[in-house]
Each structure stands twice: as C-alpha cells, then as structure tokens.
Amino acid sequence: MSTYTKLGYNLEKDLAPVTLVGNVPHILVSHPTLPVKNVKELIALGRSRPGDIIFASQGNGTLSHLEQEMLKQMGGFTALHVPYKGSAPGLADLIPGNVQLFFDSIPSALPHVNSGRIRALGVASSRRSPALPDIPAIGESLKGFEADSWFGIMMPAGTPRDIIVKLDSEVQKALATQEVRERLLAVGGFVQAGGPEQLAERIRADIAKWGKVARAANVRIE
C-alpha cells in the first residue's frame, strides 16, 4: 500500500485482522571487499563516499528495497540502487562483487555467509534472530531501525467476531508447539504471536512507517 499508486483493495477496510504468526527477517549482507564489518562502519563509509556504494534489492518497491532506503535515510548517506527480480539474481551479482550490499532473506543468504563469500552486517528486525544470535540487529547501532518481515492471518471484512476469536485461539495453540517454532527457526525466523488488535496496530504502524520512507525516496509502483 505504501508504494502502489493504484491497489485493488484497502488493507484496513477490506480485510479483518486475525493474528500475527511470525517474523522471518531479512539480513544485510555485503561483499567482503567492502571495507566494513558492521552497520556503524557502513554508515561512516557511505557518508564519506556519497553515491558510490551499490545496493542490490529483490525488486523495486519490495521490502528489500525499502529497507535500504530507510537505512540510507536514517544513516544520512546516499547509494546507488540496482533492482533485481528476486533474491537469486541479486545474490548472483553480490557474490562476485558486481554489487556490494543486499538486504536478503536469511535462508538464501546464510549458506554464502557461512562459506565466507559474503559478510553479514546486521539483521533487519527489531531484535536478533534466534537462528543467528551472534549477528546484531541493525537497531543496536542505528537506533529506531526496525524492518520486521512479519506474517499474519486475515479474513474478509465483516467476518463474525466469534470466528476471528476462535481462529486466533487455534493459531496461538499451534504457535506454542515446538514443531512450529523449530520450522520458523529453520528459515531464520521466530514466533511473533499477537491477536487481532496487535495485528491491526502493526498494520497501521507499518503503513505509516513505510509510506514515509517511500515518499522520501520517491518509490512508486504504477
């Protein structure tokens, strides 16, 4: 909603929030030749070399794109953006050094981090990922940076309240099981439970946050 000029539905009016489910955050990775080992050093480098650093993204207007725009805005530096069609082509250009930075999903980036072909600088969520406890959240060095890649369940607007409450209750039971927690952990995520009110508030907050970022960066999808 923050980037599309026309959308065929209104998220807040046409859908009813049921429950938050989980958070599978992105990770900021760099090519090893970029002389930074953390986000603080990246910001300093970006300020000293305005427009010189090259970011890949998973596509124009994607979360991967908006994360880098927010980082640049909050960090006070500029950099070139190169949009790709998904994660795989972005990584394919990051690994040989054709681009230098990429906000990517943990499952696709982690094998290359472990092999040393790329370097992990920070996790984009509001807290560290249990799958990568040694990698700091970006907000630890850039206060206020939060880019949670959360997932939730919604139903058509007008769904009876008792159905929403029942479904929320059943989902919460599933989220409390070890099996679900382990499945999320396997993809670098974690349970982020919350009922209809918590999901509604998250939607409102994210529309406002990402709308501000998109307008400042002039990110629009026709």
* Number of CB atoms found within 10 A of residue 130's CB: 13
pLDDT tens digits, the chain, 222 residues: what are they?
Answer: 556 666 778 888 999 999 999 999 999 999 999 999 999 999 999 999 999 999 999 999 999 999 999 999 999 999 999 999 999 999 999 999 999 999 999 999 999 999 999 999 999 988 898 888 999 999 999 999 999 999 999 999 999 999 999 999 999 999 999 999 999 998 889 998 899 999 999 999 999 999 999 999 999 876
Could you tell me which of 133, 114, 128, 141 has the C-alpha nearest to residue 39?
Answer: 141
pLDDT for 11 equals 86
Give the residue range(s) of CATH 3.40.190.10 domains in the chain.
26-140
Backbone angles phi, psi at 148, to 5 degrees: -60, 130
Amino acid residing at 54: I
Helix (H) or strand (E) holding 65: helix 63-75
pLDDT for 188 equals 87
Contact call for residues 121 and 128 (beta carbons, < 8 A): no
Q: What is the rounded CA–CA span in Å between residue 26 and residue 207?
A: 19
Give the residue range(s) of CATH 3.40.190.150 domains in the chain.
11-23+149-217
pLDDT for 222 equals 66
Q: What is the pTM of this model?
A: 0.91
Q: How is domain 26-140 classified at the CATH fold level?
A: D-Maltodextrin-Binding Protein; domain 2 (3.40.190)
Using the structure block, give the residue that is written with the tokens 């930074």.
Answer: 36
CATH pick for 11-23+149-217 out of 3.40.190.150, 3.40.640.10, 3.40.50.170, 3.90.180.10: 3.40.190.150
pLDDT for 100 equals 98
Distance of CA 109 to the CA centre of its chain: 14
What torsion do the CA atoms of 129, 133, 134, 135 make, to the nearest 10 degrees?
0
